[in-house]
Amino acid sequence: MQTDWLLLRCVCGQSFGARRGSKASCIRCGESKQITTAAVFSDPNKLTEAVAKANLPREIRDEISRKLDDKKRRQLKTRNHANSSTIQFILGQSTDERGILTLSSLHNILQREGITDPSPEQIIGVAELQGVVQRVGNEEWKWLA
């Protein structure tokens, strides 16, 4: 049988958790009658989380959700900042059938994908360091991977 875990809220403002069917009384003021059930969980870990969140002062809660919004906005703003799997893809796209990669082909693909950061030079630099490409001529690299 599944046990339900309750997020309870006391009239004094304190939130706390209890197992369904247990005699619950407020951990702050001891009140046991004027208690409302705010949420029900089947996972006690979820309940613990919810209790912690419910007891955060409102200012902190607002601050946290503001920070999350900021983070989301920043993520949107840095969409043309490529991650490593995108760079792998870009390198693959820039390499011709002979396995040759040039600075200008890399530049073209980056432009096509709308990526401004990192630059083609930076990408080549990292790929060279990782031993993925080897310089074979003037602004030409051979794909080794």
7 is a contact residue toward Zn ion (CB under 5 A): no
Site string for Zn ion, 29-68 (x = CB under 5 A): x-x-------------------------------------
The size of the interface with Zn ion (CB under 5 A), counted in residues, is 7
- Helix, coil or strand: residue 14: coil
Whether the link from the prior residue into 44 is cis, omega within 30° of 0, is no
27 is a contact residue toward Zn ion (CB under 5 A): no
Q: How far is the CB of 62 from Zn ion (least distance, A)?
A: 23
19 is a contact residue toward Zn ion (CB under 5 A): no
144 is a contact residue toward Zn ion (CB under 5 A): no
Angstrom distance (rounded) from CA 121 to CA 125: 6
Residue selected from 19, 20, 28, 112 as contacting Zn ion according to rule CB under 5 A: 28
Angstrom distance (rounded) from CA 128 to CA 63: 44
Q: How far is the CB of 31 from Zn ion (least distance, A)?
A: 4
- What are the Cα distances from residue 18, in Å, to 1, 9, 36, 41, 71? 17, 11, 12, 10, 34
* Contact residues for Zn ion, defined by CB under 5 A: 10, 12, 14, 26, 28-29, 31
